[in-house]
């Protein structure tokens, strides 16, 4: 079973450290929804592809899910 191959993610979270606010964008895993596959720039939009889906081989970079139960290979394509 494959999930939607084109998921645009633009979620932001704030982390307060040393009286400064830093904004991180976290891409979740499209398979297990682990909340932090990678961190990206604040205004960066990306599409994620599961291994075997159309568009996976054309991805800009690849990451393995850090969740010990998942370990899926994810293709990530930057669109903005």
- Tokens in use for 52? 């075997």
The predicted structure's pLDDT at residue 75: 92
Between 4 and 25, the more confident residue is 25
End-to-end CA distance of the chain: 28
Compute the CA torsion angle 3, 6, 66, 37 (nearest 10 deg).
-140
d(CA 80, CA 58): 16
The DSSP result for 15-45, as a single string, is: EEETTEEEEEEEEPPTTT--S-SEEE-TT--
pLDDT digits over 38-54, tens only? Answer: 888 878 888 899 988 89
């Amino acid at each position: 079973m494959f999930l939607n191959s084109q998921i645009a993610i633009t979620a932001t979270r704030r982390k307060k450290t040393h009286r400064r606010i830093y904004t991180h964008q976290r891409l979740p895993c499209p398979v297990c929804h682990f909340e932090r596959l990678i961190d990206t720039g604040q205004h960066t939009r990306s599409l994620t592809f599961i291994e075997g889906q159309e568009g996976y081989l054309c991805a800009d970079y690849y990451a393995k899910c850090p969740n010990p139960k998942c370990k899926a290979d994810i293709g990530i394509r930057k669109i903005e």
